[in-house]
Amino acid sequence: MSSTITAAPSLQSDDVVAIDELRGVYRKLKGELAKVIVGQDQVIEQLAICLFGRGHALLMGVPGLAKTLLVSRIAETMSLSFSRIQFTPDLMPMDITGTDILQETQDRRREFEFLKGPVFANIVLADEINRAPSKTQAAMLEAMQEHRVTVVGRPYPLEPPFFVLATQNPVEQEGTYPLPEAQLDRFMFLINVDYPSRAEELEIARTTTGGTLPRLEHIIDAAAVQKFQELVRRVPVPQHIYEFAVDLVRRTRPKTKESPDWLKPLVSWGAGPRAVQYLILGAKSRAALTGSYMARLEDIMAIAEPVLTHRVLTTFNAESEGITSNDIIDRLVKELNAEQVR
């Protein structure tokens, strides 16, 4: 299948200036984080894409890879409030959202007052989210989807910008409650955090075993983050990029005619329409962060794996052959791209 490459509408001059400003901010952000975080450039890029694309991220990685440090320092450089919630089997929804407590007023009357929980922060780290029961996960799901929480029938809005970063430990699964597909679908990216290289690990040993870690400069505030989030939404997208995103997602579904024959025995369930939305938003965000004035095919291809990995469920046949979701997505992207350039 070939597709005609069409031009996208051009940006207003003010937005062009704003994209140049965002690129400079992103460059400064990476420079500040490099003072305390060694390596993890791709992880930092993907977190930034999610943040400015108004998405949430799920980090997969073993303990000790500086996930908490990275998230807290991102919040510091952006002058955003940060909270960490350690998910455990006995964690209750009210431990996340907050609860009403009975308080005595100055005139000695007793009234219920809402005490906010740790979810009321700009950046929330949900550590080992799969260790909490489904009822608690549902409370976090409402916050992620609706940007509000409901306590005793009353809604409480969450102050923007609001970004949830959840972590899962891929090694220890005893005593965990696997996240249902509906909740996984709320995460824009699944970000794999891998071990550092030998050179990076040597640098970690040198820089983290001496004095205290340096304080980071505040690069932007919450208002600027929201301004850039709005800017990302206005980044133009050519028609052929929309078509590439739709065709890619539709090919992940084994029961559709667009799905290639080789995929059908390997995938039990493909990605839904939200994957298309996140591919487009992610491409817009990556384009803006790298200083491009429109979304490009390379942006879609760069974020295809983190968007689709947790949305493509493999079969037993695939697992027995050692074929992962990443392998399937990589092949789909290469095949579709080859068809586009014919």
- pLDDT digit of tens for each residue in the chain (342 aa)? 444 555 556 777 888 999 999 999 999 988 888 878 878 888 889 999 999 999 999 988 777 777 778 888 888 888 888 899 988 888 888 888 888 777 766 777 777 777 888 999 999 988 888 888 888 888 888 888 888 888 777 888 998 999 999 888 765 555 566 777 777 888 999 998 888 888 888 888 887 776 677 777 888 888 999 999 999 999 999 999 999 999 999 999 999 899 999 999 999 999 999 999 999 999 999 999 999 999 999 999 999 999 999 999 999 999 999 999 999 999 999 999 988 766
In Å, the largest CA–CA distance within the chain is: 79
| 0.95 exceeded by pTM | no
What's the CA angle centered on 29, arms 26 and 30, to 5 degrees? 90
Give me the residue spans of the domains in the chain.
Answer: 13-340
- Within 8 A by CB and 6+ apart from 29, the residues are 48, 74, 77, 78, 219
Fold of 13-340: Rossmann fold (3.40.50)
- Residues 145 and 183: their CA atoms lie apart, in Å, by 10
- Within 8 A by CB and 6+ apart from 259, the residues are 250, 251, 252, 253, 267, 270
Q: How many CA atoms lie within 13 A of 125 on its CB side?
A: 20
- Residues 115 and 67: their CA atoms lie apart, in Å, by 28
- Residues 91 and 243: their CA atoms lie apart, in Å, by 43
